[in-house]
Amino acid sequence: MSEELLNIKNLKTYFHTENGIVPSVDDVSITINKGETLAIVGESGSGKSVTSLSIMRLIDSPGKIEEGEILFNGKDIVPVPMKEMRALRGNDIAMIFQEPLTSLNPVFTIGNQMSESIKLHQKKNKKEAKKLSIEMLQKVGIPRADKVFDSFPHSLSGGMRQRVMIAMALSCNPQLLIADEPTTALDVTIQAQILKLMKNLVTELNTSILLITHDLGVVAEMADRVVVMYAGQVVEETDVFTLFQDPKHPYTKGLMDSTPKIHELKDELSSIPGAVPSPLDYPKGCRFIDRCPFAMKKCAEEHPNLEEILPKHSVRCWLHEEKVVDLHDTKSFA
Amino acid sequence: MNNYFVRRILQIIPVLLIISFIVFSLVFVAGDPVALMLPDDASQEDVELLRESLGLNEPFLVQYGTYVANFVQGDFGESYRYGQDAMSVVLERLPATLELAIAALLIALVISIPLGIWSATKQNSGIDLIATGAAVLGKAMPNFWLGIMLILLFSVSLSMFPVSGRGTLAHLVLPSITLGTGIAAEMTRLIRSSMIETLNQDYVRTAKSKGLKNRIVVYKHAFRNSLIPVITITALQTSTLVGGTLITETVFSWPGMGQLLIQAVNTRDMAIVQASVFVIALLVILMNLIADLLYRLLDPRIKYN
C-alpha cells in the first residue's frame, strides 16, 4: 500500500501574464501511493487543475513550471525531454476531463480516437487495437460496443461519452489516472454510475487515482486521502475520514459547513463569505485571512507553513501553532 | 441528403432568373449599343432600321421577356462583335479562366495552409509576426499594381517570364501569382485564427494527454476542425477570384472570360455580357454547393434535412 507512485515536491507553476506573475500552484507537495485514490479539493482558481496539468506537463505558455520536482516511480519528470514525456502520457499517466463532449474530437469516430493511443503505446496493429477498444468499451458498460466504435461523439449521451473517455484513458492500463472533475458535467444519477464504474475498474487494474473535484460528496465516495487547496497552496491534508470528522483548517471547516446535510434542518445554507484573493495580489500573511472567522494578528503578519499537527494530518494554519484546536462547536461561518 | 442536394440544385433556377433580370436591367440602363455598332456617318434611318431589327424599340419588359424565353432554350443571343452565338464565344474562353483561377487557388492554398498553421502554433513569435505582416501586405496590394510590378521585375528586367498571353506553363506563372497573392493573404489570416481557436479546444488537450506527437495533434486533431470556416471563405473567395480574373486577365492580356467581359462591356456587346455573367454566376453557385458537400465530409455533426 505504501509504495510511492507519485511524489510532487515543492511544485511551483506560474503564469506570466501581462498584468504580472500569477502563482497558480505555489509550493505544492503531494504524494500518491500505488493503488491509492487521492482527492484534491478546492474552489475554482485554487490551482487544483493546474497541478494536474503540471503532472502531465501540459502547461502551455504563458504558464511554466518554475520550480520543484515531480517524481513518478522515483524519477523526476519535470526535466525529461518531451519525447520521453509523450511515452508516459496516455500510457503510464492517463487523464479524463470534466466535459466529455468537448474533450472528444467531434470529427473522428470513437474507434479512431481510442485506437490512436493503443496503436501508439502498445504497438498494436489496427485490428488488434479495434479488438482491445471494443473490449474496453464493453468493460465500461457500453451496450453494442462494436457499433459505438464506429459512431461519432455527438451521437452519444453525456454519460456514454464519459464512459468512452474512461475506456480510452484506461485502455493502456495506466499506473496513474488523473480525473479532473470527471462527473461535474453529468446528471446526478449518471454521476453515481460513473463513480462506481471508476472505483471498480481501478480496483481491478490497481490504478492510482488523482481526483480533482470541488464536490465533497464525490470525495467521500471515492478518496482514501484528501488534499485541500486554497489560493494555489495545500492548506490541509489527511485521510478522508479524519477530514470529514475533524477538519482542522478553517477553510476546510467552511467547506464542510456549506455542504447541506440531509439530517439537518436549516433555513439557510451557510457559505464562506468573500472570495479567493486575486493571485496577483496575495496577502503577505495567510491567504485565507480575509474570509477567516478565526483570524488573528499573526495571520496578517506571517505566512503559515504546512505543519503535521497530528500524525498524518497536516494543516497550514497559525491556529494550531501552540496546541491543536478543535474546530467543532466554535465560531462558524454565518 | 440526396433530397437536400436536389433541392439545392432546384434553388439555382430562381437565383439565375434574378441575376438575369439584374444584368439585363443594368445593360439596358447603360445605353444603346446601336451607336457603337454603326459607323459614325450612318444615317438616322439606318439607326432606326437596326434598332427595329434587333428589337430594341420594344418596351423593357417585352425585351426582357424575349430574352428569358431565348435564355431558357439555351439561346443567349448573338454577339454583335463576333457575329456568333454568345454562349459559344464565352465557353471558348472558359478553359483559360478556369486554368488561371485554379492555378491561383492552388498557389494560395500551398502558401496559406502551412503559413497559417505555422503562425498559429508559434503564436506571437517572430515567424508569426512576419507571416501576419506579409498577409496584410498581400491583402493591401491591388491586383493590377502587383501584376504590373511583377511584369516590370520578372519580364522586363529579368526576362524570366513572358509579359503577356497564354500558352506555356511559363505564361501562367505571373498571372496566377498576381491573382493568388490576395487570396493567399486572406486565407493565411483565416487559417491562423481558426487554428488558434481549435488549438485551445479541449479535444486538443485530450489528444496531447494521450501522448500523441505534436504533428498528429496539430495536423490531425486541430487542422481538420479548423477547416470548416476556411472552406466557407474559400467558397466565398471564388467570387473575388472571378473579380480578380477580370483585372488580372486584362493586365496580362490573358485570353479568358474576364478579358472578354471587359471588352464586351466597353463595346456594349449585351449578349456576351449576359452570357458571361450567367456563367460566372453559375460557377459561384457551384462552388458554394461543393463547399456544402465538403462540410458534410469534414464534419459528421452537419446533417442536411
Which tens digit of pLDDT belongs to each residue from A260-293?
A: 777 777 777 778 888 888 888 888 889 998 888 8
What's the gap in Å between the CA of A103 and the closest CA on chain B? 4
Report the pLDDT value the prediction gives residue B1, as an integer from 0 to 100: 61
- Give CA–CA dist B27/A120, Å, rounded: 64
With a cut of 50, say whether residue A1 has pLDDT above it. no
Q: Which class in CATH covers the domain with range B95-256+277-298?
A: mainly alpha
Q: Is the pLDDT of residue B298 over 50?
A: yes
- Residue A197 cell numbers, joined: 464504474
Q: What pLDDT, on the 0 to 100 scale, is given for residue A332?
A: 54
Cell digits of residue B71: 435564355
Q: Searching chain B, which residue's CA lies closest to the CA of residue A168? A: B210
Residue A77 Cα distances to A97, A134, A211, A294, B58, angstroms:
22, 32, 20, 40, 87
Could you tell me the three cell numbers for A279? 493571485
A283 and A277 in contact (C-beta within 8 Å)? yes
Residue B190, pLDDT above cutoff 70:
yes
Collapse the DSSP code of B85 into the 3-class scheme (helix H, G, I; strand E, B; otherwise coil) and give the result.
Answer: strand
What are the φ and ψ backbone dihedral angles of B80, each rounded to 5 degrees? -65, -35
pLDDT in tens, B227-248: 888 888 777 777 677 777 888 8
For the segment A65-72, the average pLDDT, to the nearest whole number, is 92
Contact between A175 and A208 under an 8 Å Cβ cutoff? The reply is yes
Q: What residues pair up with B57 in beta bridges, in sequence order?
A: none
Give the closest-approach CA distance of A298 to chain B in angstroms: 43
Q: What is the mean pLDDT of residues B68-76?
A: 82
Residue A101 has pLDDT above 70, yes or no: yes
pLDDT value at position A46?
Answer: 87
Position B226 pLDDT exceeds 80: yes
Q: Is B305 helix (H, G, I), strand (E, B) or coil?
A: coil
- This complex has an ipTM of 0.86
Position B305 scores a pLDDT of 55
pLDDT on residue B171? 83
Partner-chain contact B203 A88, CB within 8 Å: no
- Name chain A contacts of B298, Cβ cutoff 8 Å: 107
Over residues A126-158, the pLDDT tens digits come to 999 999 999 999 888 888 999 999 999 999 988
- What's the grid cell of residue A72? 513518478
> What is chain B's length?
305
CA dist B54 and B35 (Å) reads 13
Please report the pLDDT score of residue A323 as a whole number. 80
CA distance A45 to chain B (A): 18
Q: What integer is the mean pLDDT of B76-90?
A: 83
- pLDDT digit string, tens, across residues A285-333: 899 988 888 888 888 889 999 988 889 899 999 988 888 888 776 655 5
Closest CA to B185 of B118, B102, B116: B116
User: What's the rounded mean pLDDT across residues B91-107?
Assistant: 89
For residue B284, give how far its alpha carbon lies from the nearest alpha carbon of chain A (Å). 27
- Is residue A293 within 8 A of residue A312, CB to CB? The reply is no
pLDDT in tens, B257-283: 888 888 888 887 878 888 888 888 888
Residue extents of the structural domains in chain A: 103-173, 246-320
Mean pLDDT of A240-249: 90
Q: Does B212 contact A at CB distance below 8 Å?
A: yes
Q: What is the share, in percent, of chain A residues with pLDDT greater than 70? A: 98
CA distances to A208, B14, B78 from A204, rounded to whole Å, are 11, 65, 83
**Domain range annotation of chain B:** 95-256+277-298
Please choose, from the candidates A214, A215, A182, the residue with its C-alpha nearest in 3D space to the C-alpha of residue A198: A182
Q: Which of B205, B210, B214 sits opposite A90 (nearest CB)?
A: B210
Alpha-carbon span B119 to B128, nearest angstrom = 4
Residue B66 pLDDT: 84
* pLDDT tens track for B16-65: 888 888 888 887 777 777 777 777 777 778 878 877 777 777 788 888 88
Residue A211 is predicted with a pLDDT of 93
Query: Which chain A residues are closer than 8 Å to B201 by Cβ?
Result: 102
- Asked if the model's pLDDT at residue B208 lies above 80, the reply is yes
Q: What is the mean pLDDT of residues B148-160?
A: 84
pLDDT value at position B62?
A: 86
| Chain A positions in Cβ-Cβ contact with residue B225 (cut-off 8 Å) | 105-107
Which residues of chain B does A120 touch, with a Cβ-Cβ cutoff of 8 Å?
A: 210-212
Nearest to B118 by CA among B2, B233, B25, B196: B196
Give tens-digit pLDDT for A20-46: 889 999 989 999 998 899 999 988 888
Q: Find the closest chain A residue to B228 by CA distance.
A: A107
Q: What percent of chain B has pLDDT over 90?
A: 11
Peptide bond just before A62 cis, omega within 30 deg: yes
Interface probe for A, chosen from B206, B208, B216 (most Cβ of A below 10 Å), is B206
Mapped onto helix, strand or coil, the DSSP state of residue B78 is strand
> B36: which residues sit within 8 A by CB, 6+ positions away?
B267, B268
What confidence tier does A239 reach under pLDDT thresholds 50, 70, 90? very high
B298–chain A Cβ distance below 8 A for any pair: yes
Closest CA to B143 of B246, B238, B230, B233: B246
pLDDT > 70? residue A2: no
Which of B272, B263, B254 shows the shortest CA–CA distance to B90?
Answer: B272
Phi, psi at residue B203, to the nearest 5°? Answer: -70, -25
Please state the rounded mean pLDDT for residues B196-216.
Answer: 91
State the pTM of this model: 0.80
The residue-averaged pLDDT of B67-91 equals: 83
SS (H, E, C) chain A: CCCEEEEEEEEEEEEEECCEEEEEEEEEEEEEECCCEEEEECCCCCCHHHHHHHHCCCCCCCEEEEEEEEEECCEECCCCCHHHHHHHECCCEEEECCCHHHHCCCCCCHHHHHHHHHHHHHCCCHHHHHHHHHHHHHHCCCCCHHHHHCCCHHHCCHHHHHHHHHHHHHCCCCCEEEEECCCCCCCHHHHHHHHHHHHHHHHHHCCEEEEEECCHHHHHHHCCEEEEEECCEEEEEEEHHHHHHCCCCHHHHHHHHCCCCCCCCCCCCCCCCCCCCCHHHCCCCCCCHHHCCCCCHHHHHCCCCCEEEECCEEECCHHHCCCCCCCCCCCCCC
The per-residue pLDDT of chain B, averaged, comes to 84
Q: What residue type is A184 in one-letter code?
A: T
Contact B299 A106 (CB under 8 A): yes
- B120 Cα to chain A: minimum distance (Å): 13
